[in-house]
Amino acid sequence: MTDNVNTGYTSGAALGLHAKLLQFEDKGWAVHSRVLGNVLYLMTSLTVSRATVSELEALLGRALD
């Protein structure tokens, strides 16, 4: 096992993506997400439409570019 302090819950790998998604709020979108270590959790309501999920997927793709 390696002594890498930037893994698991102590990782900040998802923080940059989280910050990019917050920038879309200025464009009419509010992407609610939470970072836990190197994982970014996205949350939708139970009644969200498939079209909205597709738009969210596109925003996520743009943020990853």
How many structural domains does the chain have? 1
**pLDDT tens-digit series, residues 34-57:** 888 888 888 877 888 899 889 888
Residue 14, in any domain of the structure: yes
Q: With a cut of 80, say whether residue 30 has pLDDT above it.
A: no
Residue 1, in any domain of the structure: no
Residue 32, in any domain of the structure: yes
Can you give the pLDDT at residue 51?
Answer: 92
d(CA 63, CA 2): 31
In contact, 59 and 31? CB cutoff 8 Å: yes
Residue 3, in any domain of the structure: no
Residue 16, in any domain of the structure: yes
Residue 2, in any domain of the structure: no
Residue 36, in any domain of the structure: yes
Can you give the pLDDT at residue 26?
Answer: 64
The percentage of residues in the chain with a pLDDT greater than 90, rounded to a whole number, is 5
Q: With a cut of 80, say whether residue 5 has pLDDT above it.
A: no
Can you give the pLDDT at residue 1?
Answer: 46
What range defines the domain where residue 53 resides? 8-64
